[in-house]
A = this chain, B = another copy of it.
Amino acid sequence: MTDAYARLKRRFARIATLGEAQAVLHWDAAAMMPPGGAAARGEQLAALAGLGHELLTAPAVADDLAAAEAAGAWDAANLALMRRAHARAAALPTALVEASARANSACETVWRGAKAGSDFALVRPALEEVVRLQRETARALSAALGLAPYDALMEGYQRGVRAAEVEPVFAAYEAFLRDALPRAEAIQAAKPAPVAPRGPFPVAAQRALCRRLSERIGLDYAHARLDESLHPFCGGTPSDIRITTFYSEEGFEKSLLGVLHETGHALYERGLPGAVPGGAWARQPVGESAGMAAHESQSLIIEMQACRSDAFLAFLGGELHRAFGGDAQPYGAANLGRLWRRVGRGFIRVDADELTYPAHVILRFRLERAMIEGALEVADLPGAWNEGFSGLLGIAPPDDARGCLQDIHWHDGAFGYFPSYTLGAMAAAQLMRAARRDIPALDGEMARGELLPLVAWLRERVHAQGARLGFQDLLRHATGKPLDPGDFVEHVTARYLVG
């Protein structure tokens, strides 16, 4: 190991440590902080981000990166990730970063009112400024990294996959869905209507159930907490995971499935090379996750692939009935399947079912790419949205609140993130298929509520790889092939298109 590389490892560990502090402060802001602390918290987070950026772009870093040499695949990958992080940070002038932060924050504030009043005109000027600065950011990153502008943004969320690879995958799914959705609706209509369990469902019982099931799946509460926040998430640090959910006495479906989803994220973080205390990759770039699509694959393989499977629902029904009592019939596996795997055409992405969710993402991917490439102006966004949505799902949003105003992402400056949701869902199906092949007893284990064999397989094939591999290479390593949307199509066909 050269001196320069050793210095870089120390510097990146320090940057990661600041990142850990930010993660805890973010969690606290969402789950604990009294409202009066918000303004000061914003400044605390900004100060830590600023110091991290200074450490990453200090003049000594470029010299060390030029001089450093690393032997072995892991150190080489680590050094490459350092170079990439530095190149991204150095490519953006401070004035542009600050202008973006201000524009994003201003737009997000206006957007809340615009969404509430379904008033696109209200947010349009602020969103135009956000898009103008995102285009400038994309151009700067494009020049520095040698990527297309949209790819340069997307790579900030997920390395190792390009828009040119995503577009045909999405086009094929669009074609599949055109035929599959009416068939799935017809098959569903021919089945008995699901029976909803009768509430109320006490929050204390839900909380205990969520904790017990997440623990059973493999979350170690010596290194984790489960709390509450308005928008559920998985945060914290590798040795101290913080997952959150939101309880309502009227139903347990959202809180429970949400916790199982966040547990998938949490297990990934806990299984990363960076989570080994004092390990070689603790607080090093290569010890981190492979990106947002990889992360979403880990939450969805737990929630969608495993926990909503026929096998696991047979186990889960008994647990639910024990927790909430009352009539046993709604807790039968077949009824739970009909309840929690309903398909339908809706306007809201976060309420969408597994089959139609990709349509919501495909629309956003095409529109945001067109905006970044200059082929679509913000003024034309509502029209393009409504036209695209009707083309994909055959229904037209009645207003912009249920159309292009529904998501925070663009209004907060996040362009290039949306594909991660569907890439993650497709990767989850592909990984599950490979796991079933490697572990013949998998469904039998799941029927007994046992997910540990699946998690152990993911540990080895995905978690333990850290950020060594980009998205496509990670899938190649874990399943023997790059992203193959056929596995997802096969999964939804078996689940929704068999009468």
Contact = CB atoms under 8 A, between A and B. Distances in A.
Contacts of A35: 222
Interface of A: 14, 17-18, 20-21, 24-25, 28, 32-37, 39-41, 43-44, 47-48, 51, 220-225, 236-240, 277
Contacts of A32: 32, 225
A18 B47 CA distance: 7
A239 B39 contact: yes
A239 B40 contact: yes
B21 A44 contact: yes
B20 A223 contact: no
A277 B38 CA distance: 11
Contact of A41 (B41, B44, B47, B240): B240
A17 B43 CA distance: 7
A359 to B, nearest CB: 40
Nearest to A223: B36
Contact of A34 (B18, B37, B51, B222): B222
Copies per complex? 2
Contacts of A24: 24-25, 28, 44
B40 A277 contact: yes
Contacts of A48: 18, 21
Nearest to A21: B44
A18 B54 CA distance: 15
Contact of A36 (B18, B44, B239): B239
Given A17-B43, A18-B48, A37-B237, 14 more contacts: A18-B51, A20-B44, A21-B21, A21-B47, A25-B25, A28-B28, A34-B222, A36-B220, A36-B223, A36-B240, A40-B237, A40-B238, A40-B240, A51-B51
Contacts of A14: 47
A279 to B, nearest CB: 12
A34 B34 CA distance: 21
A223 B43 CA distance: 16
A41 B41 CA distance: 19
Given A32-B225, A44-B20, A277 B37 contact: no
Contacts of A21: 21, 25, 44, 47-48
